[in-house]
Amino acid sequence: MARDAHLGIAYGHTATVAAIRGGALVFCESEERRNRLKGSSGFPTLVLDHVYREVLPAADIASCTLFQTSALGYHYLKSAGFRSHRGSGLANDAFKAQLVGAGGARMDDGLVAAIARERASQWTSPDDPATSAEAAAYFSKATGLTGDRVLLADHHVCHALSVLPFLRAPGPVLVFTLDGMGDGVCASVVILDGASARMLSQTLEPRSIGMVYQLVTGMLGMRMNEDEYKVMGLAPYAERAACKDIEEEMARLLWVDGDGEWQAAFGITEILSAKLAELLRFRRFDHVAGALQAYLETMTCRWVSAWVRRTGIRRIACAGGVFMNVKANGAIAGLPDVEDLAVTPSAADESTAIGAAIHGHLASGESAPIAPAAGIYLGSRFDDGAVDRAIQAAGAGERYRIERPADMAGRVAALLAEGEIVARFDGAAEFGARALGNRSILAHPGRLDVVDKINQSIKQRDFWMPFAPSLMAEEAGRYVVDPKGLASPYMMVGLPATAEGQARLPAALHRADRTMRPQIVRRDWNPAFHALIAAFGRLTGTWAVLNTSFNLHGEPIVGSPEDAIRTLDRSGLRWLALGPYLMHKSS
């Protein structure tokens, strides 16, 4: 067999493996689905083993690209003992936590000097020849590939390349990458045109709006680099007028200038952190969240608009952790100068694995272009035999009533129409943080009572967090305001609801501003899930279902039939559609 496949590995936040073959994205899965540690970092050993066993043998791998250019990533892995674990592992996280926990200590020369000394001691470059050789030997051993097949690529280049399978048309596209930091860079602007890339701008780490959002998340008592989505969900509850002064003060610390370049009042992130803490102490938590979100939307829109004007390119694409913020993406989509918007699904560091695999494909001189993705159902799948074994091993037949419906779509749709909540585990797993029907909990989007049921007895979620709708593509225009006809198959863009959407889908909208982050479900991408929504529409007149990820709070989305049964056992769920079986808990 010819070596014609290319792997990409992200081993930072949410470690992930992706595979490209013949220009097509054929696999992508994160380590957390297998080791059950949410956001698991470290080397994705379990997923890589699965790839070699079930997807592509190592003999077929022409290249494996890692998403950092230096031995810094090796130092990160070495400090963690190379094990999969939770947490960012950044050397200065503990020091940042001390600043956040100080409650906004006043700045003085002594604190500034202490911060500068700490910064210098923690970020000494590890790129000496001996370390680089040690890193190369480790990565060759960890991947099981000879050194000539192991490549390194810049973090933000991997982010930029990750958009390629998700573009709707050929031709030049203006790509924006934005995150906390990777390889010392926090933002870039790139023109992509097929296999051609031209870097227009890069922003170094201290000028990171992604880091600002992370720091403020921590100051609100939430987990940095994990709970930013909760701040986004809280923000619409605050009145904009009450947040305005905080937003303006934030914009004096970090801003976008007239040329579209990020600028900062301070050159060290830890000083920025202390200034933010000073600014925000004694301010209402909802006002802080509202100001932070408004600030992010204002600055990202200013940044995008400046570069669209400078280049004349109106088709844009976005990748990087900041673009997990669907509200900001919606604001960008609404800019008059933006003609089309694509956002990499699960745009944080996990998707750099996709960009890394594409880098290997392009670097090898492969003639096949990168093919458009037909959905992202790219993870593990389990046949009926695996489901049978899981049910038997768990003794589920002794605890639950189990049936095998001839028409699963119709049966589940009828339950949803009656107000039941049904978990669905079927087909290949969708890649990323957003459940897209195959590893989902589903409910009637028109019944507000299901919101409290899911929050309290199943997911244990924060009460202010919204759910999302999955809309049948043929009827989506009824429910979502989308004058530009944007593709939204991955829940990556926040959009307003129409009047009919507000009337029909109240449980699947944000309660404060009546927006949604829709999944537009195409029949050719997921026939079984599309059939379920169609059956629900015929019963209720609503061609959409409420969709939330199939997991308990704080856990990854379920990764196996065993995980699905355990979640049924441990939650208030009463119905589980597991492969060909429908399981019912009577109480």
Rounded percentage of the chain residues whose pLDDT exceeds 70: 89
Task: Work out the pLDDT band at 70, boundaries 50, 70, 90.
Answer: low
Q: What is the pLDDT of residues 12-50, one digit of tens each?
A: 889 999 999 999 999 999 999 999 999 999 899 999 999
pLDDT tens for each residue of 264-300: 998 888 889 999 999 999 999 999 999 999 999 999 9
What confidence tier does 101 reach under pLDDT thresholds 50, 70, 90?
A: very low
Task: Classify domain 384-584 by CATH number.
Answer: 3.90.870.20
User: For the domain 167-348, what is the CATH code?
Assistant: 3.30.420.40
Q: Provide the pLDDT confidence category of residue 75 given band limits of 50, 70 and 90.
A: low
Task: State the pLDDT at residue 68.
Answer: 73
Domain range summary for the chain, segments of one domain joined by +: 167-348, 384-584
β partners of residue 188: 177, 202
Could you give the 3-state DSSP secondary structure of residue 269? Answer: helix
- Of the pLDDT bands very low, low, confident and very high (cuts 50, 70, 90), residue 81 is low
Distance CA 242, CA 290 (A): 9
- Mean pLDDT, residues 336-363: 97
Q: Name the band, by pLDDT with cuts 50, 70 and 90, for residue 107.
A: very low
pLDDT level of residue 119 (50, 70, 90 thresholds): very low
Quickly list DSSP for 437-458: STEEEEE-TT-THHHHHIIIII
pLDDT at residue 313 tops 90: yes
**Contacting residues for 10 by C-beta, under 8 A, at least 6 apart:** 16, 17, 44, 67, 158, 349, 350, 351, 352, 353, 356
Whether the per-residue pLDDT at 92 is higher than 50: the answer is no
Model pLDDT for residues 228-251, shown as the tens digit of each residue: 999 999 999 999 899 999 999 999
Pairwise CA distance, residues 288 & 245, whole Å: 10
More reliable by pLDDT, 410 or 77: 410
Token output for 540: 């209720």
Residue 105: per-residue pLDDT: 38
* Confidence band, pLDDT 50/70/90 cuts, at residue 586: confident
Report the pLDDT averaged over residues 555-562.
97
pLDDT band at residue 120, thresholds of 50, 70 and 90? very low
- The CA distance from 314 to 417, in Å, is 42
Contacts of 346 by beta carbon, 8 Å cutoff, 6+ apart = 324, 431, 432, 433, 434, 490
Residue scoring higher pLDDT (78 or 176): 176
SS3 582: strand
pTM value is 0.92
Place 86 in a pLDDT band, splitting at 50, 70 and 90: low
For 363-387, what is the mean pLDDT?
95
pLDDT tens-place string over residues 437-458: 999 999 999 999 999 999 988 8
Note the pLDDT of residue 278.
94
Please give the pLDDT value at position 82.
59
Contacts of 102 (CB under 8 A, 6+ apart): 274, 277
pLDDT in tens, 143-167: 999 999 999 999 999 999 999 999 9
φ, ψ of residue 330 to 5 degrees: the values are -65, -40
Please, what is the angle between helix 240-253 and helix 285-311, to 10°? Answer: 60
Mean of the per-residue pLDDT values for the chain? 90
The pLDDT tens digits for 532-545 are: 999 999 999 999 99
Least confident of 132-136, 336-340, 385-389, 567-571: 132-136
User: What's the mean pLDDT in 70-85?
Assistant: 62
Exposure string over 231-258, b if 16+ CB within 10 A, otherwise e: bbbbbbebeeeebeebbebbbebbbbee
H-state helical runs in 312-374: 326-333, 352-363
Question: What is residue 267's predicted lDDT score, i.e. its pLDDT?
Answer: 83
Q: What is the pLDDT of residue 299?
A: 98
Burial of 351 (0-12, 13-18, 19+ CB in 10 A): buried
494 pLDDT exceeds 60? yes
Calculate the alpha carbon distances from 54 to 27, 50, 57, 150, 373 in Å: 11, 6, 8, 21, 21
Write the burial class of residue 353 (CB in 10 Å: 0-12 exposed, 13-18 middle, 19+ buried). buried
Q: How far is the CA of 344 from the CAs of 25, 284, 374, 585, in angstroms?
A: 13, 34, 13, 38
- Cβ 24 vs Cβ 80: under 8 Å: no
